C-alpha cells in the first residue's frame, strides 16, 4: 500500500517576504507555539499564511524540521531578470 505523505507546511517565497502556510493541525500547533502572537497573516481563517521576512525563513524552516515536521517543496515566485 502506498500512502501519500501529508506535509505540515508549504512555503511560498515572494522577494523580501515568505508565506508559511500550515497544512494541518500539527502545523497550526507549531505556529501557535513558535511564532509570536502579533504575526502578520495573509488570508482568512485558521489556515491563513504567516508572513515572514525573508531573512528569518531559514531559522524557521530549521525549527520546523528540528521538531520533526515536514514542508512541501518551496515554491519560489520571485521574478528573476
- Read off the pLDDT of each residue in 38-61 and give the average, rounded to a whole number: 92
DSSP codes of every residue in 6-73: PPSEEEEEETTEEEEEE-SHHHHHHHHHHS-TT--EESSSTTPEEEEEGGGHHHHHHHHHHTT--BPP
pLDDT in tens, 9-35: 999 888 899 999 999 999 999 999 999
**Cβ–Cβ < 8 Å for 40, 51:** yes
Residue 1 has a pLDDT of: 43
Residue 40 has a pLDDT of: 93
**pTM across the whole model:** 0.81
2 pLDDT above the threshold of 50 = no
Residue 13 has a pLDDT of: 86
Amino acid at each position: 500500500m502506498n500512502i501519500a505523505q501529508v506535509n505540515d507546511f508549504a512555503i511560498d517565497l515572494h522577494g523580501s517576504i515568505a508565506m508559511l502556510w500550515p497544512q494541518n493541525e500539527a502545523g497550526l500547533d507549531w505556529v501557535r507555539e513558535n511564532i509570536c502572537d502579533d504575526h502578520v497573516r495573509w488570508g482568512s481563517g485558521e489556515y491563513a499564511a504567516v508572513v515572514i521576512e525573508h531573512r528569518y525563513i531559514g531559522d524557521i524552516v530549521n525549527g520546523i524540521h528540528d521538531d520533526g515536521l515536514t514542508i512541501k517543496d518551496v515554491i519560489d515566485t520571485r521574478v528573476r531578470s
